[in-house]
Amino acid sequence: MVSVHESTLTRSRMFALERNDVPQAAGYRADVRHHRCAWAVNGADTTYLRYHDNEWGVPCYDDRQLFETLLLETARVGLSCPAILRKRGSYRVAFEDFDPARVAAFSDARAEKLLRTGGIVRHRQKVMAAINNARRFLEVQQEFGSFATYLWHFVDGRPVQNRFLRLEEVPARTVLSDTVSRDMRSRGFRYVGSRTVYAYLQATGVVNDHLAGCFRHACVMQLADPSRIRPALG
């Protein structure tokens, strides 16, 4: 979801500061003993912190979750990550629990209703892109057996394990994201430029861009399991 280039902290900082700089909030008590990617700590807002500690960069092989992240990433274009994360519950309701088959079946009338729905980004092109992308998502599933098979084949089933030390080392796009973006656009997906796709690859664990000193770097590395990728259809 997040691009590390959105960090509101000084870019020369390698990690979040220690105990007093890690916000604590009702319902989430962060372990202050850990070093974290600096972008995860955003003042008193724990939105990033929860996402960083529990979701970002975890290798994802579940098509429903892959569609959810794709929908949210494309909705986020031009906006901040926390803004979209805080709207995720509303998106879940509006987009049928991120079921691509149900979203693909949305009519024009349903799209117009979404444009009057509070809690989501009411941007016509993005709403129409979400519906379009659900349809393209189903086509990829039909061709490859699962969207996960399609996505992970770009890295032969194994995450790219980067070991960056500082935020400024992390790219906004790569040859890999250029390749995936180009292929997705050729299949009719919208709002999938290379920068958006790279953020998507980071979020879904296809690329591990937790900083090398972040406690989550080794954690997500150990969660990679190529055996969970379903084989493509004959």
- Could you read off the pLDDT of 52-78 as tens digits, one per residue? 999 999 999 999 999 999 999 999 988
Tokens matching residue 97: 């629990």
Residue 124 has pLDDT above 70, yes or no: yes
CA-to-CA distance for 173 and 81, rounded, in angstroms? 17
Task: Give residue 63's pLDDT.
Answer: 97
pTM: 0.87
CA-to-CA distance for 232 and 143, rounded, in angstroms? 7
What would the pLDDT profile of 73-101 be if each residue is shown by its tens digit? 999 988 888 889 999 999 999 999 999 99
Tokens matching residue 13: 């900082």
The strand pair at 160-161 and 207-208 is best described as parallel
CA-to-CA distance for 186 and 188, rounded, in angstroms? 5
Helix (H, G, I), strand (E, B) or coil at 117: coil
Instruction: With beta carbons less than 8 A apart as the criterion, state whether 202 and 171 touch.
Output: no
Task: Give residue 152's pLDDT.
Answer: 97
- In the chain, the largest separation of any two C-alpha atoms, in whole Å, equals 55
* Residue bearing tokens 């009702």: 26
Size of the chain, expressed as the number of residues it contains: 234
CA-to-CA distance for 214 and 86, rounded, in angstroms? 24
Residue 192 has pLDDT above 60, yes or no: yes
Q: What angle do CA 176, 127, 117 make, to 5 degrees?
A: 140
Residue 184 has pLDDT above 50, yes or no: yes
**Among 3.90.1150.10, 3.30.470.20, 1.10.340.30, 1.20.1090.10, what is the CATH number of 63-228?**
1.10.340.30
Q: Where are the domains of the chain?
A: 63-228
Instruction: Give the CA dihedral 122, 126, 129, 134, nearest 10 degrees.
Output: -60
CA-to-CA distance for 123 and 125, rounded, in angstroms? 6
